[in-house]
Amino acid sequence: MRLSVAYTNTKPGTGKTTTSVLVASHLHALGFDVLLVDADPSQSALAWSDEVEGFPFKVVGLAVKDAGRRLGDYAGPDTLVVVDLPQAEDHGAIVRSVLRHVDEITIPVAPSTIEIDRTSAIGDMLDEIAEVRRDPARVAVLLNRVVAGARSGRDAREGLTESGYDVLESQVPRREAYALAYGATPEVPVGDPIALLAEEYLRRAGIEVPQ
């Protein structure tokens, strides 16, 4: 694998599936070999792919306890892998397995007090995983569902940074297009916040962004 990114949180409904699919779609559009791994037993990403008669990139279901170790069975040396994980509170074994092996761990968080408070639980899990990884992962928070022009996004970024979290430069705004994305063919326009997020992952990995 050239790069692997996983989305994780303790609770459902944080935008992991939508973000995973759209990021994978943009990376594919940039010309990369992309594999989307649906590690959630609910198989939402696979169902989405079926609904549109298949994504233009590879998708596999891997909701098994040794999912992390098996990622390499489906990905070549140049493959960019995006993993949609289930909520950690109910499927800890799957989540821990994947987070032990991926390069980039992203925690999607809405800029609300309750969502930010939840990061402490996933942070504790990541501390445990860091002790058994051979190499450290790049761990960062993704601010998701940010209201344009509202102070909540800025305050959340400042608060998370002060708490020691790396917060991605890119953030995903609250948009109806994202809320309605499920079940439609994924399309990410050039310059879209999701496109900027996908390209930020490439830069963080030292991979040149195609022009």
Helix, strand, coil share of the chain (percent; to 5): 40, 20, 45
Query: Cβ distance 57 to 28 under 8 Å?
Result: yes
Question: What pLDDT does residue 71 have?
Answer: 96
Cα(94)–Cα(66) distance, integer angstroms: 7
Residue ranges, the chain, pLDDT below 50? none
pTM for this prediction: 0.94
For the chain, counts of helices (H) and of strands (E): 8, 7
Question: What pLDDT does residue 50 have?
Answer: 96
* Residue 37 in tokens: 């791994």
End-to-end CA distance of the chain: 22
Cα(209)–Cα(201) distance, integer angstroms: 10
Report pLDDT digits (tens) over 48-66. 999 999 999 999 999 999 9
| CATH pick for 3-204 out of 3.30.300.130, 3.40.50.300, 3.30.390.50, 3.60.10.10 | 3.40.50.300
Residue with tokens 């098994």: 64
Question: What pLDDT does residue 13 have?
Answer: 73
Report pLDDT digits (tens) over 161-172. 998 899 999 999
| Rama region for 183: left / alpha / beta (φ>0; ψ in -120 to 50; rest) | left
Long-range contacts of 73-77 (CB under 8 A, 24+ apart): 74/35, 74/37, 75/1, 75/4, 75/35, 76/1, 76/33, 77/1, 77/2
Question: What pLDDT does residue 60 have?
Answer: 97
Domain ranges of the chain: 3-204
Query: Cβ distance 41 to 11 under 8 Å?
Result: no
